Amino acid sequence: MKNRSWGGRFKNSQTTEFLKYSASIHFDYLLAPFDIAQNIAYAAALQKAKILNGTEYKKITKALRKIDTEIADGTFDYRIEDEDIHMNIERALNQKIGSLSGKIHTGRSRNDQVATVTRMYMLENCKSIIEMLRKLRKTSLKQAEKYLNHLMPGYTHLQAAQPVRIAHWFLAYQQMFARDEKRFVDLLDAADVMPLGAGALAGNNFGIERKFLAKKLGFKRITENSIDAVSDRDFALDFCYAASVLFTHISRLSEELVIFSTGEFNAVSLPDELCTGSSIMPQKKNPDLPELLRGKTGRLNGNLINLLTMLKGLPLAYNKDMQEDKPPLFDSCEQTVASLPLVIKLLGETKFNTKHLRSKINRGFLTAVDIADYLVLKKMPFRQAHHIVGKIVAECEKKEKTFSHLTLSDFKKHSKLFEKDVFSYADPALSPDRKKGVGMTSETSILAEIRKLKKRL
């Protein structure tokens, strides 16, 4: 095998082993449609700069479109000896139009070429992810409306803490996914900068109109420093970071659904289509999708660390190390795009066992804070109220009782401030609606949040 793109400088060809080792075509073939678009736009810029005449421009772009068709229908001949997608396309162009193909690389380096098409690839994936995150947020909002009038224990330290509306649980993830969407929207704007025209690192000698190129390729802006243009991989880091945070949120959701779906919790039922059985135990319904999503989070976190580590010691401008930016970026893109439709289905079709959850909030001491607050409303300092209610809980546990078993006399043993109205504060069903502030778990607060989110979405 012999790479011909720089053969004039070398007496000897690279070894087969080295060419295989250094080739990137086995992963950067994903950039093919973007490289075709970039070549077509660049040919137009070369015509504008009078490097190509009208006939040459038409001949080149016609051949590029034929190559694009071959790529789309799977008949394109990828060759490892051409190293990467850019040289594969240039070789195919040469096969179609001969030496004229050599003009397409005028004033351009693979350094600015790859930086441009990698951004194009990432930006397209960003748009798809933003659209799916919007669907995911709408799904959580729909579920919040469905479960508005149903209660569940809210947990801290994985122990039942206070009664909340199930809707409030869905809206908590709504907030996480809203922040995720904003990260990708911000990235979409920050990364929308075109490096093409920067050449290897110093620019080009042909007066290529970069703003014309940017408009052709759909970029909002052009890079302002040619060295930085080919060195910058912040956009890839930003994407991998945004994807990593998104999967951290998905992993937290998955963990809760795994726990909630156990017989011990019996809080939710997951859709059969997203679960599996056991090869040996006929009774099993395993939460495979949430477990897979939880597992993939480590993979995406690893992609971010991979990129950070690769970039941390690189001098300016382009270095061959940067070829390794694509596998982690591509993997994070592909996993995110593949996972989100499944997360939408998972969240949208999870059913809460409302009857069982209602019984669970009546069995614990979930209104302990409400009873302490009751004493505070009677002018007792909170720390004293906290201590008194703690003693009531300890006594109930000793006698295997709950608040619902207590009489007014039982309460008065601990404080004369208790009156009959304490029972309404001890009732878990009445607890959420006392919390009427913005973002709280009362019906009023949740309805206000739902109305606000509907306007935003």
Tens of pLDDT, residues 162-206: 999 999 999 999 999 999 999 999 999 999 999 999 999 999 999
Q: Is 150 a catalytic residue?
A: no
Q: Which two tokens stand for residue 319?
A: 């270095």
The number of beta carbons lying within 10 Å of the beta carbon of residue 451 is: 9
> What does the domain layout of the chain look like in residue ranges?
7-106, 111-193+224-352, 359-456
For the record, the structure tokens of 2 come out as 């012999």
Report pLDDT for 4. 53
Distance CA 100, CA 103 (A): 6
Question: Which are the contacts of 106, defined by CB distance < 8 A and separation ≥ 6?
Answer: 46, 51, 206
According to DSSP, residue 13 is labeled P
- Find out whether 105 and 90 touch, Cβ atoms under 8 Å: yes
Please answer whether residues 60 and 43 qualify as being in contact, where contact means their C-beta atoms are separated by less than 8 angstroms.
yes
Fold adopted by 111-193+224-352: Fumarase C; Chain A, domain 2 (1.20.200)
What's the angle, vertex CA 418, arms to CA 416 and CA 421, rounded to 5?
155
User: Which residue out of 99, 140, 278, 387 is catalytically annotated?
Assistant: 278
Helices and strands, number each (H, E), in the chain: 18, 6
Identify whether 278 is a catalytic site residue. yes
| Phi–psi pair at 222, nearest 5 degrees | -115, 155
pLDDT at 5: 55
- Residues of the chain under the 70 pLDDT cut: 1-8, 10
Q: How far apart are CA 373 and CA 390, in angstroms?
A: 13
Q: What local confidence, expressed as pLDDT, does residue 31 receive?
A: 96
CATH architecture of the region 7-106: Orthogonal Bundle (1.10)
One-character DSSP codes across 290-312 = HHHHHHHHHHHHHHHHHHHHHHT
Among 26, 86, 150, 157, the active-site one is 157
pLDDT at 6: 55
Q: What is the CATH number of domain 359-456?
A: 1.10.40.30
